[in-house]
Amino acid sequence: MQNNFGFVRVAAAVPKCHVADVDANVAEIKSQITEAIEEGVEVLCFPELTVTGYTCADLFFTQQLQQNALQGVQQICEFTRGKSIIVLVGAPLKVDNNLFNCAFVLTDGEVVGVVPKINLPNTGEFYEKRWFTSGRAVREINGHPRIPTVELWGGDVPFGIDLLFMTRAYCFGIEVCEDLWSPLPPSTQLAIQGAELIFNLSSSNCVTGKHAFRRDMITQQSARVHCGYIYTSSGVGESTTDVVFSGSTYIAENGELLEMGDRFMRDSSMVISEIDIERLRTDRQRNTNFTKDQHGHYRKINVAPIESELGETEPTHRRFSMTPFLPCKGTEDAYCSDVLSIQISGLARRWEHTHAQTLVIGISGGLDSTLALLVAAQTADVLGYERQRILGVTMPGFGTSDRTYNNAIKLMEELGVSIHEIPIRDVTTQHLQDIDHDINRHDVTYENAQARIRTLILMDLANKYNGLVVGTGDLSELALGWATYCGDHMSMYGLNAGVPKTLVRYMVRYIAENLFAEETRETLLDIVDTPVSPELLPLDEQGDIAQKTEDQVGPYELHDFFIYYFLRYGFSRDKIAYMASVAFEDQYTQEQISHWLGIFMHRFYCQQFKRSCLPDGPKVCCVSLSPRGDWRMPSDICEME
């Protein structure tokens, strides 16, 4: 497979097992190798002791099984000749009167390395120490400290627990089953030494509760060492004398479970996904412990698989969420609780520290000010303050619609905050006359004058009532520079500065549906359904909102997708466009995505001066644009292509 933007296609296979029948197992393995090649898989991982089956017990002592196993590996190795794939299979290997439980790395008719299992289980069902020697003993073989190799079919092959496999595009390491369960998994040091993919050949039996525990352990290990983790375990064909095997397969990346196969399958099965090597390298680049904690000698083995002839336009197995800032299914309550708790905690601390008597918030009837008001009300409750200490200020202007005005008033009434209504039409008209600007000329001066007058009113009210002006602008607006400098751009605490627009909308809907009774719920849901608009231009002939933000700067769902992958991982424009085309394939054409991505990039680079002087505000998601924290960029910077 040709790597698309750093993606490497991997697979975890579970062949139908025939205990001690090497020929039958080899046939199953060859069949799955063929299937994987047709799917463009670059690295295919089979379970522990795949060639013989894991449950051979004392048959492992027999010369016949040992010889058959080695012949089986040779057949599989020869089968890979001329094929564009790397194959990892498990088999026993006898070296100097020691029997090792090994993973063989095969490609293009060659064995490029053999990795023995280190940690052997000592449970009653599988006392592997009865049959096998730990890989730690490899360096002591023959009594001298040479770099260990093993002779296979007339050639010396690297052999040991210190092997890293280097391809043109990535580095991978191997651990075997119990190794992951040890106090210090080999994968930790392998990753620190440079392995970006970890393959685990396993034969973990099935008992109640183990599946979920193992899944979480694999996912957490992939997060801990910023790696792709590919795990496969023996299936139901193994002997059921004392235990049952389910054929568990998992592919995880950096704390995210990408694929999980069905268990207890009667026939051979396989799961496939792509690991994003560039994503892993971005996180490792930021985590300097990957350099600081390197120690010991690891041998780097070059692996040169044959390039796939499949083109770059082939369909991908990897999917991307359209809403990377929103919670995954099943985590909604905990996620939303965290968002609210972070915002409430930040605002409460600032309110207490400043000894402000009031909070002053401009309420427009739109999403951002609604979320800010909801958080402020709950903050007052947490601190034991009367909600009337919150000054909600609605300031109708030339573009204010009845819908947003009424929703603003209703929401303030239902929340029990103090209501101030200060129309800005007359003062804005006078101001435009003072600066000799034609009021019928609806340009940026016309729009920004209203935004700055509103901010002036809020600041002066804060002075009058010993208050703190709470900013309502969100992370998406900051990224796009969609704010009036020294207008809604400025406040005394930017409560929503860490919340992207898609999450603002989600939070308001969540709060409406879970925390409020019918009347307030209806108000909030109508706000959610209202088009996003600064309402700075006059209404249309029907009295509806004429100025819709997403018509001008683009869909916020796209912009938040761009923000996530640009800020979190620093991906290139081409890669972000590719990922967006996969995520939004049924909603936007590639031309539309390219257009709005171009708008995003241009606005992001040229609007940094607004972010360089942002007020304080809490980081809520995995990224922020604080000039003191996550994002520091010169204002005078050229846009990168």
Per residue in 416-451, pLDDT tens? 999 999 999 999 999 999 999 999 999 999 999 999
**Size (the chain), residues:** 641
Q: Facing residues of 372 across strands?
A: none
Burial of residue 498, with CB atoms counted within 10 A of its CB: 0-12 exposed, 13-18 middle, 19 or more buried:
buried
Mean pLDDT, the chain, as a whole number? 91
Q: Are 109 and 78 in contact (CB under 8 A)?
A: yes
Q: Are 87 and 81 in contact (CB under 8 A)?
A: no
Per residue in 192-214, pLDDT tens? 999 999 999 998 777 887 888 88
Which one is catalytic: 102, 177, 227, 336? 177
pLDDT of residue 238: 84
Q: How many CA atoms lie within 13 A of 592 on its CB side?
A: 14
Burial of residue 102, with CB atoms counted within 10 A of its CB: 0-12 exposed, 13-18 middle, 19 or more buried:
buried
Looking at residues 464-491, what average pLDDT do you find? 96
Task: Specify whether 48 is catalytic.
Answer: yes
Task: Specify whether 177 is catalytic.
Answer: yes
| Sign of the dihedral through C-alpha 58, 63, 68, 71 | positive
Of 263-267, 530-534, 561-565, where does mean pLDDT reach its minimum? 263-267
Per residue in 111-168, pLDDT tens? 999 999 999 987 666 688 899 999 988 865 544 455 588 889 888 999 999 999 999 8
pLDDT of residue 211: 85
Antiparallel, parallel or unpaired: β 86-95 and 7-14: unpaired
Task: Specify whether 352 is catalytic.
Answer: no
Q: Are 252 and 229 in contact (CB under 8 A)?
A: yes
| DSSP structure string for 71-127 | HHHHHHHHHTTT-S-EEEEEEEEEETTEEEEEEEEEETTEEEEEEE-----BSSS-B
Burial of residue 207, with CB atoms counted within 10 A of its CB: 0-12 exposed, 13-18 middle, 19 or more buried:
exposed
CATH architecture of 7-302: 4-Layer Sandwich (3.60)
pLDDT of residue 228: 97
Three-class secondary structure of residue 604 per DSSP: helix
Angle at 322 between CA 555 and CA 8, to 5 degrees: 130
Q: In what order do the strands lie in the sheet with 228-233?
A: 256-260, 249-253, 228-233, 197-202, 171-176, 163-166, 299-302
Whether the pLDDT of residue 365 is over 80: the answer is yes
Residue 21 is classified by DSSP as: -
| DSSP structure string for 552-573 | HH--HHHHHHHHHHHHHH---H
Residue 48 is classified by DSSP as: T
When comparing pLDDT for 623 and 141, which is higher?
623
250 phi/psi in degrees, rounded to 5? -140, 140
- For 514, other C-beta atoms within 10 Å of its C-beta total 11
Both structure tokens of 556: 């916020």
Whether the pLDDT of residue 504 is over 90: the answer is yes
pLDDT cut 70: percent of the chain above it = 95
What is the number of H-type helices and E-type strands within the chain?
20, 20
389 phi/psi in degrees, rounded to 5? -75, -5
Which ranges constitute the DSSP H helices of 117-240?
Answer: 178-181, 186-192, 210-224
pLDDT band at 294 (very low <50, low <70, confident <90, very high): low
Radius of gyration of the chain (CA): 31
Three-class secondary structure of residue 276 per DSSP: strand
- Whole-number Å distance between alpha carbons of 390 and 379: 10
> In which element (H, E) is residue 59 found?
none
Per residue in 214-259, pLDDT tens? 899 999 999 999 999 999 999 888 887 777 888 899 999 999 999 9
CA distances 396 to 59, 363, 423, 436, 529, Å, are: 85, 10, 5, 23, 20
Both structure tokens of 425: 């039409």
When comparing pLDDT for 477 and 310, which is higher?
477
Query: What residue type is assigned to position 515 of the chain?
Result: L
pLDDT of residue 201: 96
5 phi/psi in degrees, rounded to 5? 55, 35
pLDDT of residue 128: 85
pLDDT of residue 324: 96
When comparing pLDDT for 148 and 577, which is higher?
577
Is this prediction's pTM over 0.85?
yes
Whether the pLDDT of residue 610 is over 90: the answer is yes
Three-class secondary structure of residue 485 per DSSP: coil
Which one is catalytic: 42, 48, 175, 447? 48
446 phi/psi in degrees, rounded to 5? -60, -45
Of 20-24, 26-30, 140-144, where does mean pLDDT reach its minimum? 140-144
pLDDT of residue 313: 41
Looking at residues 166-183, what average pLDDT do you find? 92
- Whole-number Å distance between alpha carbons of 133 and 107: 26
Three-class secondary structure of residue 158 per DSSP: strand
Looking at residues 261-269, what average pLDDT do you find? 87
Whether the pLDDT of residue 272 is over 70: the answer is yes
Which one is catalytic: 83, 117, 410, 501? 117
- Whole-number Å distance between alpha carbons of 491 and 379: 18
pLDDT of residue 139: 66
Nearest to 92 by CA among 112, 65, 58: 65
- Whole-number Å distance between alpha carbons of 294 and 430: 68
Whether the pLDDT of residue 478 is over 50: the answer is yes
- Whole-number Å distance between alpha carbons of 261 and 399: 54
Of 86-95, 180-189, 339-348, where does mean pLDDT reach its minimum? 180-189
Say which CATH topology domain 332-611 has: Rossmann fold (3.40.50)
Residue 229 is classified by DSSP as: E
pLDDT of residue 1: 38
Whether the pLDDT of residue 314 is over 60: the answer is no
- For 602, other C-beta atoms within 10 Å of its C-beta total 13
> In which element (H, E) is residue 144 found?
none
pLDDT of residue 292: 62
First to last CA, the chain: 27
- For 443, other C-beta atoms within 10 Å of its C-beta total 9
Looking at residues 458-477, what average pLDDT do you find? 97
Per residue in 373-403, pLDDT tens? 999 999 999 999 999 999 999 999 999 999 9
